[in-house]
Amino acid sequence: MLFTIQVNNKKIRAEKGETILSALNRNGIIIPTLCRMKEFTPTGACRMCVVEVEGRDRLVTACSQPVEEWMKIKTHSPRVITARKTIVELLLSNHPDDCLYCDRNLNCELQRLAEELNIRERRIRARKIKPRLDQSSPSIVRELSKCILCGRCVRVCEEVITATSLDFINKGRETHVGATMDKDFNFSSCIHCGQCVLVCPTGALHEKHYLAEVQEYLNKPEMVKVIQYSSMVVYGIAEELGLRYTKGFDKTLNAILRKIGFDKVFKTGTGTDVCITEITGQLSERIENKADKPLYISACPAWVKYVEQFIPSLIPELSTVKSPQQITGVLIKTLVAGQLGVKPEEIFSVSATPCMAMKFEARRDGMMRKGISDVDSVLTVRELARLIRLYGIDTSNIEEEPADEPMAGRSSAAIMAEVSGGLAESVLRSLHFMKMKKEPDKQLFKKLRSGGLFRETSLQIDEKDVRVAVVDGLTGLEKLKISLASGKKYDLIEVMTCPGGCVHGAGLPFSPSKDEIKSRAKLVYQSDDTEAINLPCKSPSCINLYEKLLKDNSDIADKKIFYTHFEKRNVLL
């Protein structure tokens, strides 16, 4: 039901049941917010969104107050603006004020609010929060003095990721956000997905930087500098550098990376193709053996850690195939090292990903051989963009170059792995082709592509119904549990930690809106529709790898390097 309310002496239409904020936003009136996250219930904790409602003594929070017919609202009256300004001044009163050195400089919500509200002096002085820097985690750094206690990370971790590794500790002036028993982060149940970093309005949570390390090695002439980047990085870099993504931007990126000083540029996509092929092999074997339990895809490192901590009983069902990054990494340190005639330790292998858990994964047990890790440094898209800016590369004026063999090409199935449901679809497509010698109609996977936390479908392959389920975001696990409990059987289950898949990865540009994530996914589907090679087994790089390179290299011919193991983790849950 629509009705009219008065805002700033003008009439606007509001809908019954919606909040003041949503009515205002729909009518083009912008109100600053801080603790609000769109898909969550409002908390009204930060009071940034206060407005004046005639007849009410106190200012009300627009984010949580339902709109009512009699309301006469003032959104930018002197009283409201003073209140908002005071809130930000109070937040700044104990803030470290080291913006110039801060990770979020020029990209900070608190900084932006201070700027928007025209705060030009420190009016309120308070004791600074005692600095506490927690660098214990391989992927996430916590700087507690920069925290403004908005609680977004706490809510995301509990409500979206369900790992619940963060909560408010203590009360009053002593309040801070921390892990259980106030321990350092690597002792917590954190699964390194990084969604908390993505929602943090300040620099209190950010990724652990490996840029200095990369720079140091780039200047070592005796090392072979190698980088691999996944398909999502191409979109992400375009987004972060403010360029329009066009087809073939990956070739531009190759040239940029070579200009920075990388000797070899590889595509993680080839690794994804290998990953799909291996999982297809495992699945086919399981189906032939009439396995009772489903195969869980293990390409998402955050999901793997989640299983190891919370549901260790599932470990035997996890596919032992490494993730695409690690497969590419191990190929670099074995195959490429052999081709170049260098020792593995003479290669410095960097990976650029849209994921933060990959930073953790590269340091996992089983991801190194003879003490040499397969992937030495993992950079997020944001870090890679920094590196590109640091080297002052003019991105608009650059020749396109191909990536390096043997990992120069990928199928469109590999890019599909970036969206939730895509990897399962690719595996099914591969299996279909393997058994029936023809590609299935993509329409058959419609159910796997459309929204929802939990999606399922089945595909007739070789007179056998292959049933697959997709869990999009860990909250979907509940639905999977219910479905399994009701007696449903699946052959393949894909779980992605970040809702939407890697397109919502925590290494991508900050504060993505739902539409942005959708448009990233759309780009993925577009690539899949327009590219000619839709299957790993049709990609020349992948064929070359399997048919020739692996067979010629006796050390890796058994393909053991593509597999790993998982173990139960003892952390405080």
Partner 1 sequence: MGTDLDIILKKYKQGKREDLIPILQEIQEDHGYLSEEAIVKTGNFLGLSTTKIYGLATFYDKFRFIPSGKIQIKICHGTSCFLNGSQAVINKIKEETGIVAGQTSRDGNFSYEIVSCMGGCNNGPVMNVNGEYHTHIKPEQLPELIKKLKYVIDND
Q: Which stretches of the chain bind partner 1, using CB under 8 A?
A: 158, 164-171, 179-182, 188-189, 572-573
CB of 160 to partner 1, least distance (A): 14
Q: What is the 3-state secondary structure (H, E, C) of 240-303?
A: HCCCCCCCCHHHHHHHHHHHHCCCEEEEHHHHHHHHHHHHHHHHHHHHHCCCCCCEECCCCHHH
Nearer to partner 1, 170 or 526 (CB): 170
CB of 482 to partner 1, least distance (A): 17
Q: What share of the chain is helix, strand, coil (3-state, %, to 5)?
A: 40, 15, 40
Shortest distance (Å) from residue 174 CB to partner 1: 8
Closer CB to partner 1, 188 or 373, in the complex: 188
Cβ nearer to partner 1, comparing 129 with 211: 129
Tokens 């980047």 map to which residue? 229
Q: Which helix (H) or strand (E) holds 338?
A: helix 337-340
Q: Specify the residue, 308 or 376, whose C-beta has the smaller distance to partner 1.
A: 308
The nearest distance, CB 170 to partner 1, in angstroms, is: 5
Please state, as a whole number, how many other Cβ atoms lie within 10 Å of the Cβ of residue 37: 18
Q: Which is nearer to partner 1, 120 or 171 (CB)?
A: 171
Q: In this complex, which beta carbon is closest to partner 1, that of residue 70 or of residue 168?
A: 168
| Beta carbon of residue 229, minimum distance to partner 1 (angstroms, whole number) | 35
CB 153, min distance to partner 1, A: 12
Give least dist CB 158 to partner 1, A: 8
- Residue written as token pair 């191909």: 402
For 449-453, which contacts have Cβ atoms below 8 Å and span 24 or more sequence positions? 449/419, 449/421, 449/425, 449/525, 452/476, 453/479, 453/499
CB 423 within 8 Å of CB 297: yes
Report the DSSP pairing between strands 372-373 and 368-369: antiparallel
- 306's CB contacts (< 8 A; 6+ apart) are 163, 191, 474, 497
Choose between 178 and 269: whose C-beta lies nearer to partner 1: 178
Whether the CA torsion 95, 100, 102, 106 is positive or negative: it is positive
Query: What ranges in 374-513 are assigned the alpha helix state H?
Result: 381-390, 412-416, 422-436, 446-449, 477-485
Q: Each residue of 130-169: b (16+ CB within 10 Å) or e?
A: eeeebebbbbbbbbbbbbbebbbbbbbbeebbbbbbbeee
Angle at which helices 422-436 and 268-288 cross, to 10°: 60
Least separation in angstroms between CB 446 and partner 1: 37
Nearest distance from C-beta of residue 570 to partner 1, angstroms: 11
Q: Length of the chain, please?
A: 573
H or E segment and range at residue 207? strand 205-207
Residue with Cβ nearer partner 1 (176 or 267) = 176
Give the nearer residue to partner 1 in terms of CB position, either 298 or 309. 309
Q: Where are the alpha helices (DSSP H) in 159-248?
A: 195-199, 211-218, 231-240
Dihedrals φ, ψ of 81, to 5°?
-65, -40
Phi, psi of 147 (to 5 degrees): -75, 135
Q: How far is CA 367 from the centre of its chain?
A: 21
Helix (H, G, I), strand (E, B) or coil at 10: strand
State the minimum distance, in angstroms, from the CB of residue 143 to partner 1.
19
Q: Give min distance, CB of 399 to partner 1, in A.
A: 51
Question: Which residue, 190 or 357, is less far from partner 1 as judged by CB?
Answer: 190
- 228 within 8 A of 384, measured Cβ to Cβ: no
Q: Closest approach of Cβ 144 to partner 1, in Å?
A: 15
Q: How far apart are CA 453 and CA 482, in angstroms?
A: 13
Nearest residue to 233 (alpha-carbon basis) of 213, 218, 252, 210: 252
Q: Which CB sits closer to partner 1, 169 or 444?
A: 169
Question: Nearer Cβ to partner 1, position 163 or 448?
Answer: 163
329 contacts: CB under 8 Å, gap ≥ 6: 228, 271, 349, 351, 362, 367, 373, 374, 375
Dihedral, CA of residue 424, residue 426, residue 431 and residue 432, to nearest 10: 110
What is the pairing mode between strands 72-74 and 167-169?
unpaired
By beta-carbon proximity to partner 1, the closer residue of 172 and 221 is 172
Q: How far is the CB of 167 from partner 1 (least distance, A)?
A: 3
Kindly tell me which of 163 and 466 has the beta carbon lying closer to partner 1. Answer: 163
Min separation Cβ 190 and partner 1, Å: 10
